[in-house]
Chains A and B, each alone.
Chain A
Amino acid sequence: MKRLLQIEWLKLKHYRPFWVLTGLYTVMVSLICIGVHFFFAYLKREGADINGFDPTMFPFYDFPDIWQNITYIATWFKLFLAFIVVISIANEATHRTLRQNIIDGMSKKDWLASKLLLIVALAVAATLLLFVLGIITGLIYGHPESYTSIFDSTEFLLAYCLEVITYLTFAFLATLVIRRSGIVIVALMMYTLAFEPLTTLFLTNFPDSLSSYAKMPEILSTAAAFFPIRAINNLIHVPYQRWVLQEIQDYVSFTEVLIVLGWLAFNIRACYWLLRKRDL
């Protein structure tokens, strides 16, 4: 396993786009996590008030809520990490180095494992980054009375890790199917940011328009929860309505984890099946 990870590291460490994308992810996530504080301060200076609240009063940085707050933000930036996976795998296909790796003595299973290890490493690194950001910003901007519950709700970090791993295996599969990195990146963005959210939005909100059968609307709106991106994003629910005193899901649901694990298993199986079936 160490050898497989070393092979991946040797391939990536001299590759500039890898560092650019890693850097972009780190900078964006950090800037936004820290920036929320300045954004609220800016809103206050502009005299905004939301339902009679001064924006800086929002407990964004208070433990343990901070974990759900920042992991939810980071959900939007996992695309950068997916691009690393897409480029790495599409490169191996276009430069035919996948084929050369097999000739040189890797098994297809080893090759798959090395890419999955890369995915796990990226997810763990991203989770650690959030953990460190959470601790630092929480201690600086959070209310001191919340310090007693620093490590409560850290399951959101684990959920984020699972979310990234599953999304990156989805990107892996998409790349094996489509092969051209440019097309995969555009397709992945369109699907993740537009196509699937719109479809699931439609299914959950207007199921009646699609069928006149009595039972169908219910089935359609339930089916929406099983779409891959929706399932992955559902792990961490939007937390911010709680500031306007709405009820939110402030835990990680077991059922939703199961659906994601199902997708994870499917993605890996499908990647392996494609690799085994194909001529390289």
Chain B
Amino acid sequence: MIVLSTQNLTKKYSRLTALDQLNFEIQTGMIFGLLGPNGSGKTTTLGMILSVLKPTSGTFQWFEKPPSAASRREIGAILEIPCFYPYMTAEQNLQVAAKIKKCPTANIAPTLKTVGLYERRNDPFKTYSLGMKQRLAIGAALLANPPVLILDEPTNGLDPQGIVEIRELVIQIAKSGKTIIFASHLLDEVQKVCTDFMVLKKGKKLFQGNVKEALSDQRMVEVGAENLADLQNAFSNYQGISKLEIKDDLCLLTALPEITTNDISRYLFDKKVIINHLVEREGSLEKQFLKILAEK
């Protein structure tokens, strides 16, 4: 099923076009990374699909229906900074959220335990550290156990341990079949959890695709040998590679997708070249991202 689709979604602020004719679709079960440099339109996009920003033009549908308050109750979302009533405790804030989302207050205690705030549940929100506020926001998003989650920079302000915890939480939630839309500028993060991603720049979509596919043409194989010249020579008429570079006494191969390290090893064995190093390097989303940004 299509969870979300947009048609020519556009947002203009007087002279600035924050988002320009965006079209995309998200399917059930995707963990969808929304990438882009600062000011590229990530939060504008999320604001519009959450009905807090009014599109200048264009439309969007949740669950193949026009957006409504009822469809938003099927979505747990955090947008930018955590927003709560500062004079109320975590528990009281979640009571308000539960009433709005029409979900039982019995969900509150387990949710607070999940995000590690149960001990502090009776302290006012304003006494929390940024990391704790962020956890409470994630808790509020999870509260009604919605099928769709929107997380805008969810690891902002968290310490390294918190980042790992949230990442594991996201993976764990994703395994339960939920759809997650994940905006981040931490590419490492996105690569670790996302199945699909989209790159925005200056309000325009530069790329949308599957993370694995996007990284596959980035796969590199490093091969090293005592005699580098022999090795280079052996590869000169090998059909299985598309590119060869020499770097730091190693041959860097861009191998065709069907070629495995096994194939390379066997080929070199047949050519009687002895190697001392053979490593497959996965591409990184960071490289791919920079490449996409540079291309356009």
Task: Tell yes or no: B70 within 8 A of A by CB.
Answer: yes
Task: Tell yes or no: A215 within 8 A of B by CB.
Answer: no
Shortest A10–chain B CB gap in Å is 5
- From A11, A95, A96, A105, B73 is in contact (CB under 8 Å) with A105
Task: Tell yes or no: A97 within 8 A of B by CB.
Answer: yes
Cβ of A7 and Cβ of B69 under 8 Å apart? no
Task: Tell yes or no: A178 within 8 A of B by CB.
Answer: no
Cβ of A10 and Cβ of B52 under 8 Å apart? no
Shortest B144–chain A CB gap in Å is 8
Given contacts A10-B99, A102-B51, contact A107 B69 (CB under 8 A): yes
Contacts of A95 in B (CB 8 A): 83-86
- From A3, A96, A97, A279, B99 is in contact (CB under 8 Å) with A3
Given contacts A104-B140, A110-B69, contact A97 B83 (CB under 8 A): yes
- Complex interface: stretch among B1-9, B87-95, B259-267: B87-95
Shortest A112–chain B CB gap in Å is 12
Identity of the chain B residue whose Cβ is nearest the Cβ of A114 in the assembled complex: B100
A-B CB pair tally, cutoff 8 Å: 76
Task: Tell yes or no: A103 within 8 A of B by CB.
Answer: yes
Interface SS, A side: helix
Q: How many residues of A contact B (CB 8 A)?
A: 26
Binary CB contact string for chain A from 1 to 15 against chain B (1 if under 8 A, 0 otherwise): 001001100110011
- From A96, A104, A277, B72 is in contact (CB under 8 Å) with A104
Cβ of A105 and Cβ of B70 under 8 Å apart? yes
Contact surface of A with B, Cβ cutoff 8 Å: 3, 6-7, 10-11, 14-16, 91, 95-97, 99-107, 110, 277-280
3 closest A-B pairs by beta carbon, nearest first, are A105-B73, A107-B69, A100-B83
Contact surface of B with A, Cβ cutoff 8 Å: 47, 50-54, 68-70, 72-73, 75, 77, 79, 81, 83-89, 92, 95-97, 99-102, 140
Listed A/B pairs (5) with beta-carbon separation below 8 Å = A14-B87, A14-B88, A15-B87, A104-B72, A104-B97
